[in-house]
Amino acid sequence: MEIKQALNEKPGFQIWWRLLRPHTLTASFIPVFVGTMFALNEGSFHILLFLAMMIASILIQSATNMFNEYFDFTRGLDNEESVGIGGTIVRDGIAPKTVLRLALTFFGIAALLGVYICLESTFWIAVIGLICMLFGYLYTGGPYPIAYTPLGEIFSGFFMGTVIIGISYYIQTAHITLEIIWISIPIAIFIGCIMLSNNIRDLDGDKLNGRKTVAILLGRKNAVTLLGILFIISYALTLYYIVVDLLPLWSLVVFFSGKIAVEVIQKFKGKTKPIEMMPAMVLTGKTNTIYGLLMGVSLLLNKLF
């Protein structure tokens, strides 16, 4: 009850909203937005494809979060005091099977949207989409969950960042370029950072449950240092892309998001309790959101002017 009050968890609609873990959904809609804005710069934009891709991506990310909620509960990893979860099962009393069915329903709707996307582009998208959904399930499901290994950040960054940006760009333009892959890297890193900040917050509990995340292997202090280094790499790559004309000069606006990245590191320093680190975790997602939105806006401005 104390955790519920500290997190300001409320009944009703918020139970289901929390289950989606909204602060992580930036990892789904930002890559679609950025990939589509790059396509727009080449004169290609189909609103229905954009909306279908956006909704499908959010549904897959939401379902992945639900699988996380379900499997962590069934493995006995979550309890009423756990921070960073929706708490739908352990604090709100929603049946685990209900959460699992909802996750599978979201996957089913995403698959139907995928059929439309394939009809408008190529059925190779179906293969890639199914692989993304499989890894969304395996992230916390299956006998060897990816989230319990040092590879969680890499897989999440690659699939939710580079792959989703690439697909969003391809379905608009019917081709893929090496440039779009390079440009996707900073956002892939930011998405990986969301997972890393999550693992920094959950380090003690994860360690007790036998996980081997990067945060556990490095220790909290070094993991926070790594988080800062990854932020620096993302901004350095962005500046490099502007200098070599992969990105327009307008893209300098993304550096306004750097202030939030600095706040993330400051809010992690000296903190040891999960509840104390929640603001830093939320701000990590916000860094990706603001960076991605400003990147997309800079591309739109480049198209208009």
Is the whole-model pTM more than 0.85? yes
Does a structural domain hold residue 102?
yes
Between helix 178-201 and helix 164-173 the angle, nearest 10°, is 150
Q: Quick one: pLDDT at residue 8?
A: 53
The answer to the question of residue 290 being in a domain is: yes
Q: What is the pLDDT of residue 5?
A: 54
Helix pair angle (164-173, 124-138), 10° resolution: 160
pLDDT at 189 over 80: yes
Q: Domain of residue 171: give its range.
A: 2-300
pLDDT at position 80 over 80: no
**235 or 146, which is more confident:** 235
pLDDT, mean of residues 101-126: 93
Higher-confidence residue of 25 and 185: namely 185
Per-residue confidence band for 85, with pLDDT thresholds at 50, 70 and 90 = low
pLDDT recorded at residue 97? 93
pLDDT bracket for residue 83 (50, 70, 90)? low
129 touches 50 (CB < 8 A): no
- Secondary structure class of 7 (helix, strand, coil): coil
Q: Over the stretch 5-23, which tens digit does the pLDDT of each residue have?
A: 555 556 667 888 888 888 7
The predicted structure's pLDDT at residue 235:
98
Amino acid identity for residue 182 in this structure: W
pLDDT tens string 273-301: 888 998 999 999 999 999 999 999 999 99
Residue 205's pLDDT is 85
CA angle 74, 155, 123 (to 5 degrees): 100
pLDDT range class, residue 2, cuts 50, 70, 90: low
The confidence band for 199, taking pLDDT boundaries of 50, 70 and 90, is very high
Which of the 8 DSSP states describes residue 163?
A: I
Q: What is the CA radius of gyration of the chain?
A: 19
Is the residue at 305 inside a domain?
no
**pLDDT band per the 50, 70, 90 thresholds, residue 223:** very high
Mean pLDDT over the full length of the chain? 90
Tally of domains within the chain: 1
Closest CA to 77 of 61, 96, 58, 94: 96
Q: Does 137 fall in a domain?
A: yes
Query: How far apart, in whole angstroms, are the C-alpha atoms of residue 25 and residue 152?
Result: 16
* Whether residue 243 has pLDDT greater than 90: yes
Q: pLDDT over 70 for what percent of the chain? A: 93
Between residues 24 and 13, the one the model is more confident about: 24
The answer as to whether 255 is a domain residue is: yes
- Supply the pLDDT for residue 168: 96
For residues 55 and 193, give the distance between their C-alpha atoms in angstroms, rounded to a whole number. Answer: 23
Mean of the pLDDT values across residues 57-65? 91
Asked if residue 195 is part of any domain, the answer here is yes
Looking at residue 230, its pLDDT comes to: 98
